[in-house]
Amino acid sequence: MKKGGIFKYISFALFAIITAALVTATIVEKLHGTAYSIENIYVAEWMIALWTAGCSSAIIYILQRKLHKRPATLCIHLAFAVILIGALVTHTTGKRGQIHLREGEYTNEYVSSENTEEKFPFSISLDSFTVKRHAGTTAPMDFISSIVIYDNERIEGSVSMNNIFKHRGYRFYQAGYDNDEKGTSLSITYDPWGVGITYAGYVLLLFSMLLFFVQRNSRFRNTLHKVTKHARESAMVLIMLVAATTASAEEKPRTLPADIAEIFCDVHVQHNNRICPLQTLAIDFTAKIYGKRSYKEYTAEQVLCGWLFFYDEWEHEPMIEIKSSEVRKVLDIEGNYASLADFTDSLGYKLEQALHEKSNSELNDFVAANEKFNVINMLASGALLKIFPRKNPITEEIVWNSYADGFNDDIPRHLNLNFIAIMATAGNHESIKAVTENIKCMQTKRGGESIPSATAFNAEKLYNDTNSSKPLAIVCLVVGTLLFILSCSGLANGKAESIVKKIMRIVAWVIVVYISMLIILRWYVGGHMPLSNGHETMMFMAWCSMLLTALSAGCRIRMVQPFGYMVSGLALLVASLGEITPQITPLMPVLQSPLLCIHVVVIMISYTLFAFTMLGGIAAFITKAVRKNAEREIIELQRTSLLMLYPAVFLLTAGIFIGAVWANISWGRYWGWDPKEVWALITMLVYSVTLHTGSIKLLQRPMLFHAYCIIAFLTVIITYFGVNFILGGMHSYA
């Protein structure tokens, strides 16, 4: 055997087994819990033996392949070996534990991860514990433990989220606190060698990946040369389903005129643990109960005012979306929408019995329907409208109250909800305008620092008015489809093709500017880079894809443009699903780290490139089906996909290890076997196979390569969506 012989097959076989074991472990974890999977699979002796054997075999194979002639490629593989060695050292010699401290008490003991008492070579005490909160809310901004170390001298230190304290090899991390805020729980790690070795592997990997792209004889450089020399355009036809909605001619419930409702919602309210325009609450309320940001011809502000001032008419309006057939059966409705009146009958609340008797698999649907019922009643009673700031006489903090919080004596009569309702019913719109101005003046006088600036307030209103990703998604999908059809039919060629590409590039730049505006506005309003949930990351993925499309001027990889529109459209379509639930909220303290932004950015760019290769695979199969002599086009698609796979895999790898560093800073461990972490690792292992076509001869066949790229994209889907909605874990977000 040549170039590695038996060790080549052993290496790839072992890593295939490891990948299968990791997939199995995530399923077992869902059924039996994280601790069971960690003990019996992730860090079991047989799994460690597999990693050791795979790494050893790979090193022998690398040496036999004489990769020293390609130093960057050699160092990339050696970096992984160093990282695995660091993980093994951490596993065998590292210590982990927890310590609970009360103010004024000191100890020299902690509880290890094996539930045994261990001693420090020093003593530690808690001087004070503080919870910092976002102004005007109860949402925590940071947790700060001021500690004192007694080790021949008094050493003062501070532990907070993303801020660790180190002493004599021990690292202290903020983990929790007592309800009375007089005590704290700290995580402890002692790993003097493992972390250093692992970080050395990270650094070596980063520099090796950067050097790889300038290495003269790398497969990436060779592929780039072939693509830029012989680039050809491929085509793909997508089938789109368009749903049409029809409006009924039923009697309309009353509400305020759109302009008056807009004025009424131009006040501040505490919502989602922050102070924002009442307009934001109106949009979130409408989206939550109806599934869309508006209802028929009514704006979100009109919907809120309708339920608030004309409850008797709106309770019979079938606008509460019910997705579950079981819930619809209990409510005795035929369509997908129920009215509030459908929730009750002469016997009482229809969902009461189901909420107590249904199994977990069905209970969530009934809980969701019950939540919509309660939210509507909270709005109608005024409990949802926390629009009255007042100073807590004990803590001196500003708190925001609603009409239902028991402080009615503190609310002037002319600002009373019943008084405003009377004005609305009588059609006295001028009085409503005056009341709104009085509320705004009262908020400015009492709100203090809890009120956002006028610029931030107006920026959020602009964001609310302009944020609509679904129509843009449809535009991108249609444009992408038309580009593929033109390419497939040959209608656009020569000068016509050039004109079409120029127009589409201008359109792409317009879309880039629009999405950039949304991201910047959301960033400014939320106070952090918007990369903390599914909606935000999909918007960023759409931006990456469209920016790549807009920058494709002069690029000979002409399929970038249609693929860019398609990926951007699909990402925007997924992002639009996130608009039905409130999104802009203060970040949890642990997420307030610059590493979060870098971690998410590089991973989402890699997902974008993976999506391109998946579409390239589909295009190859369609091209083969509609053309007889399309071998050259299919080969060019393979080269283009391979060209994208190198940065995609490298970025995913970098994102994983940046996330590991972030985890180590925040929680004291750089790998916790969370399902999202595991599936990101699985995705990296699966896609890394495509970069070894020199060793895996089967993948040199274009159609097999394209088939693999299509199937491999399932790992991306599971990592991003499957973990969120099925497997769960602390990385789970929708």
Averages of pLDDT over runs of 10 residues in the chain (734 residues) are 71 92 88 82 90 90 80 87 90 88 87 86 89 64 85 87 83 85 88 87 88 72 59 36 37 88 91 87 89 89 92 91 88 89 86 73 77 87 85 77 67 71 86 88 86 90 85 85 65 62 86 91 82 76 86 63 81 70 50 66 83 85 79 82 88 88 74 84 92 85 93 89 63 46
Output the DSSP codes for 83-108: HHHHHHHHHHH-EEEEEEEEBT-EEE
Predicted pLDDT of residue 677: 86
Predicted pLDDT of residue 704: 94
Predicted pLDDT of residue 582: 41
Instruction: Answer yes or no: are the C-beta atoms of 387 and 420 closer than 8 Å.
Output: no
Instruction: Answer yes or no: are the C-beta atoms of 93 and 193 closer than 8 Å.
Output: yes
Which of left, alpha, beta for 567 (phi over 0: left; psi -120 to 50: alpha)? Answer: alpha
First to last CA, the chain: 50
Predicted pLDDT of residue 236: 37
* 410 Cβ neighbours under 8 A, 6+ residues apart: 388, 390
Predicted pLDDT of residue 495: 63
Which of left, alpha, beta for 152 (phi over 0: left; psi -120 to 50: alpha)? Answer: left
Q: Where are the domains of the chain?
A: 1-62, 66-94+191-215, 98-189, 258-449, 467-587, 588-734
Structure tokens at 525: 């309003």
Amino acid at 350: K
Query: What burial class does residue 647 get, using C-beta atoms within 10 Å of its C-beta: 0-12 exposed, 13-18 middle, 19+ buried?
Result: middle
Predicted pLDDT of residue 724: 65
Instruction: Answer yes or no: are the C-beta atoms of 470 and 293 closer than 8 Å.
Output: no
The answer to whether the predicted template modeling score (pTM) of the entire model surpasses 0.75 is no
Structure tokens at 397: 């903090």
* 198 Cβ neighbours under 8 A, 6+ residues apart: 82, 83, 86, 87, 90, 660, 670
Predicted pLDDT of residue 22: 92
Instruction: Answer yes or no: are the C-beta atoms of 512 and 537 closer than 8 Å.
Output: no
Predicted pLDDT of residue 510: 92
Instruction: Answer yes or no: are the C-beta atoms of 197 and 85 closer than 8 Å.
Output: yes
* 189 Cβ neighbours under 8 A, 6+ residues apart: 94, 95, 96, 170, 171, 173, 668, 669
Report DSSP state, residue 65. Answer: T
Predicted pLDDT of residue 410: 63
Structure tokens at 349: 């609340």
Instruction: Answer yes or no: are the C-beta atoms of 224 and 643 closer than 8 Å.
Output: yes
Amino acid at 529: M
Structure tokens at 435: 């009341």
Predicted pLDDT of residue 558: 59
Predicted pLDDT of residue 19: 92
